[in-house]
Amino acid sequence: MAHKSLAEDIIDFAGISINASPEIKGFTSVTATVTLYNLTVNGLGQYSSATIFHQSADNATYFEQIQAGWIVHPQLYGDSRTRLYSHWTIDGGQKIGCYNNICPGFVQLDTDVPIDYAFPKISRPMYDDYELEIQIYKDEDYYLLFQGMFIIGLWPETMFIELRNGSQVVRYGGQTFTPAGEQYSPPMGNGNFEDGNPHTTCHMRQVMYGVGYNTEVQPDESLVQTHQSRCYHEGSQHNAHDDYWDYNFLFGGGGFC
């Protein structure tokens, strides 16, 4: 049976999230180390990313959000390389917000590493040598920290209302976009999902979040929510307590759904 074209845009997410609670009033940072992969999307308007989020509320239409990570997005960049990226919105992506510094908002600070930096070396399954360590932390403004040492830029606090006192949701995982009219969704992660095997599946490790000024902790497993979507999967979330993996999980899928 032929696969029908989509009637509307679809965003798929597979990963984990943690919501604010009586014990956690809000989040001041979101941090993870993710394997770097490159993959081929199945349409010009598609993208596939591995990303971390600050978000103002869960299940709200007009939420505020900051996200950053790596992405393959041919329409945005004009090539299929794996690149650093960021995106922000104050209305759930309806009208206000953009990628990188396409519109006023994100302020580039580092003169050597641009926000659309193309990664020169990419991992292969069984050879997880190349990773992206990324953090979005709040110190009045929201700052993007790259590889643990480069402050790439910032989003001024004045851009936001609900995020001014920290976020209510942090999310980690893979996200893909399939525009209306296209038949097959793109792969996620490295295009493979083998639960229990971080050497053949894209993963995030050393997952942490901030609960106060300069204080980061690993997720409370009782608060972690897992997410899967259509043909994209998440699994093996746990805390290894070993100073290398610590809290980690796997995500990905072959697409074509």
For residues 155 and 195, what is the distance between their CA atoms, to the nearest angstrom? Answer: 36
DSSP 97-152: EEETTSSSS-EE--SSS-TTPBPS---BTTB---EEEEEEEEESEEEEEETTTEEE
For residues 9 and 21, what is the distance between their CA atoms, to the nearest angstrom? Answer: 32
For residues 211 and 21, what is the distance between their CA atoms, to the nearest angstrom? Answer: 11
The SS3 call for residue 1 is coil
Q: Does domain 10-252 have CATH number 2.60.120?
A: yes
Domain boundaries, the chain: 10-252
Predicted pLDDT of residue 3: 52
Residue pointed to by tokens 């930096």: 117
Residues in the chain predicted with pLDDT less than 70, given as ranges, are 1-6, 128
65-72/47-55 β-pairing: antiparallel
Predicted pLDDT of residue 2: 45
